[in-house]
Chains A and B, each alone.
Chain A
Amino acid sequence: MMMKRLTRTVAALALSIGLSGAASADQLADIKAAGKIVAATEMHFAPFDILVDGEYQGICRELFDEVAKELGVTAEYLDLPWSSVLPGLEAAKFDIVNAPVTITAERMARYSFALPMGNATVALAKKAGDSSIMAPADIAGKAVGSQKGSAQLDQLKAFSATLATPADIREYVNIDEALADLAAGRIQAVANSMPLMGYAAVQRPDTFELVMPPFGDPKYFAWVARPGDDSASLIAAINEALLKMHADGRLDAINAKWLGAAPELPVEMPAVQ
């Protein structure tokens, strides 16, 4: 009697585990059946994810809305502190992270990345209307600010060393101070990641201007899903949507709207060290 009851409990347990396993075997099918995809990010990273008067806005919002449209589902967005975003993904609390996640080899090993949707390579901001800097190489011999201890500063130093006359590099604790000095005319350019520089130029078009193209080692942002076979069809569908948006110009248009210029984005997964 006791044994029988135990067997029954175990069977019921196995069944429920089996069912939940089956339910997540193909994430894309589940999402289509539910009619919605739940995406999480930290809405605290302009210009990709910001809350304006309680409404979620930014590059990632606009791009993901379009992707959801391509998938034929509605997008639902969650705001989590960054430290909870990747643990939440692993615990299957939502379908995908639609934050700009920098593609690195460590993360590649642990998650499934979609195609890049943002470019995090270093770019320059100059004073609006300054015709003496039209390309990155024009900073030769000029005063350029960047953030102390940042990866972008290293990229700037390496780039400057390749010029005939190196740039006069000034280090700032905070990138806003560098921008303030640029606005005041104490330096001629500021180097940081392309989205930050582009956003500053869009926010204050009378003061700053973005210098294209970016320089140094290319770095990209992309969305991530859980690793494994379950998410393979979802990632494939998102990539298909992104490629379609590459082709019809939506990807460039949304990036340009927020950054002032459309960054170069690869149509296949970039190699990472």
Chain B
Amino acid sequence: MDFSFGVILHNLPYLIAAAKWTLLISLVGMAISIGLGVFICAARMSRARWLAAAAALYISFFRGVPLLVQLLIFFYMLPHIGLDLPAIAAAILSVGMCSAAYTAEILRGAFQTIPAGQTEAAKALGIAPASYWRRILVPQALRLGMPSLINELILLVKVSSLASVVGIGELTRVAQNITGQTYRPLEIYIAAAAIYFVINLIISQLGRLAERRMQLAGGARLGV
């Protein structure tokens, strides 16, 4: 087996240029996932029944339909009803909106593990609901949900490869194209795998850092 590092070095600039698309989709997708996820989680836990039902419907649709199919619908079917999204917008939106469904459920799970006694105690102490949420519930939920959230964000980076079906030259697509021309799949896919690995290593390290900081800050605030 001849393994050529030369092929990797020669094509690395193209792979890195493609990884910028992967990063763009992932980072904006994450922002949508968390922003929208918090909102959907709140709706899902709302006492207003129609709101909770709408959130449940959203979650079951985006969780229940393969992301690839969602992406094809966003890009190729919406123009038929007059809604024409650019490829990159379709990719980011579908990745972000799908991930938001999971984020919402991760957060809901985290909220539910906080003992109801805390709510009663907060009421008894006369803490205003707004500051109870902001200072007691949300920091705990974030801390409890953090490992699963990091998991979800890493998954999101990996599913960004699906954006190739709408014509985005992200990392996986460009690796495929280079393979088609160099006939060196092993080298090229190993290089692509290494780039994905580095991106996700950074995310998991940032996540670990965030977990540690929250533990310190949360601990101090709660007087533990």
| Least Cβ–Cβ distance between B95 and chain A, in angstroms | 17
With an 8 A cutoff between CB atoms, is A230 at the interface? no
With an 8 A cutoff between CB atoms, is A216 at the interface? no
Whole-angstrom distance between the alpha carbons of A81 and B75 in the complex?
A: 14
CB <8 Å contact, B177 and A87:
no
Enumerate chain B residues within 8 angstroms of A83, measured Cβ to Cβ.
Answer: 165
With an 8 A cutoff between CB atoms, is B80 at the interface? yes
With an 8 A cutoff between CB atoms, is A125 at the interface? no
Name A's interface SS: mixed
Given known pairs A81-B165, A84-B167, the reply for A43 and B76 (CB within 8 Å) is no
CB <8 Å contact, B14 and A44:
no
Given known pairs A80-B167, A81-B164, the reply for A50 and B79 (CB within 8 Å) is no
CB <8 Å contact, B76 and A90:
yes
CB <8 Å contact, A50 and B181:
yes
Nearest A residue (CB) for B183: A176
Name B's interface SS: helix
Q: Which of A44, A51, A90 has the most CB of B within 10 A?
A: A51
> Within B41-81, which residues are at the interface with A (CB < 8 Å)?
72, 75-77, 79-80
Enumerate chain B residues within 8 angstroms of A51, measured Cβ to Cβ.
Answer: 177-178, 180-181
Q: Which of A20, A46, A90, A91 contacts B181 (CB 8 A)?
A: A46
Nearest B residue (CB) for A57: B181
A80-115 to B contact mask, C-beta < 8 Å, 1/0: 110110011011110000000000000000000000
Given known pairs A50-B181, A51-B180, the reply for A79 and B169 (CB within 8 Å) is yes
With an 8 A cutoff between CB atoms, is B126 at the interface? no
With an 8 A cutoff between CB atoms, is B82 at the interface? yes
| Least Cβ–Cβ distance between A52 and chain B, in angstroms | 6
With an 8 A cutoff between CB atoms, is B148 at the interface? no
| Least Cβ–Cβ distance between A57 and chain B, in angstroms | 9
With an 8 A cutoff between CB atoms, is A78 at the interface? yes
Enumerate chain B residues within 8 angstroms of A53, measured Cβ to Cβ.
Answer: 10-11, 14
CB <8 Å contact, B180 and A46:
yes
Whole-angstrom distance between the alpha carbons of A84 and B11 in the complex?
A: 25
CB <8 Å contact, A43 and B167:
no
Enumerate chain A residues within 8 angstroms of B82, measured Cβ to Cβ.
Answer: 16-17, 20
With an 8 A cutoff between CB atoms, is B215 at the interface? no
CB <8 Å contact, B165 and A84:
yes
Whole-angstrom distance between the alpha carbons of A50 and B72 in the complex?
A: 25
With an 8 A cutoff between CB atoms, is A54 at the interface? yes
| Least Cβ–Cβ distance between B171 and chain A, in angstroms | 14
Enumerate chain B residues within 8 angstroms of A234, measured Cβ to Cβ.
Answer: none
Whole-angstrom distance between the alpha carbons of A46 and B87 in the complex?
A: 26
Enumerate chain A residues within 8 angstroms of B199, measured Cβ to Cβ.
Answer: none
Whole-angstrom distance between the alpha carbons of A93 and B165 in the complex?
A: 13
Enumerate chain A residues within 8 angstroms of B169, measured Cβ to Cβ.
Answer: 79
Whole-angstrom distance between the alpha carbons of A83 and B71 in the complex?
A: 13
With an 8 A cutoff between CB atoms, is A40 at the interface? yes
Q: Which of A17, A43, A78, A91 contacts B80 (CB 8 A)?
A: A91
Whole-angstrom distance between the alpha carbons of A175 and B72 in the complex?
A: 33
CB <8 Å contact, A91 and B77:
yes
| Least Cβ–Cβ distance between B165 and chain A, in angstroms | 5
With an 8 A cutoff between CB atoms, is B204 at the interface? no
Whole-angstrom distance between the alpha carbons of A20 and B76 in the complex?
A: 17
Whole-angstrom distance between the alpha carbons of A122 and B80 in the complex?
A: 39
Enumerate chain B residues within 8 angstroms of A20, measured Cβ to Cβ.
Answer: 82
Enumerate chain A residues within 8 angstroms of B72, measured Cβ to Cβ.
Answer: 84, 87
Nearest A residue (CB) for B176: A44
| Least Cβ–Cβ distance between A96 and chain B, in angstroms | 15
With an 8 A cutoff between CB atoms, is B195 at the interface? no
> Within B159-186, which residues are at the interface with A (CB < 8 Å)?
164-167, 169, 173, 176-178, 180-181
Given known pairs A20-B82, A81-B165, the reply for A44 and B180 (CB within 8 Å) is yes
Q: Which 3 A-B pairs have the closest CB atoms?
A: A44-B180, A91-B76, A91-B79
Having A16-B82, A43-B177, one finds 6 other A-B pairs with CB under 8 Å, namely: A43-B180, A51-B177, A54-B14, A79-B167, A87-B76, A88-B75
Binding site for B on A (CB under 8 A): 16-17, 20, 40, 43-46, 50-54, 78-81, 83-84, 87-88, 90-93
A-B contact pairs, 10 of them (CB 8 A): A17-B82, A43-B177, A46-B181, A50-B181, A81-B165, A84-B165, A84-B167, A87-B72, A88-B167, A91-B79
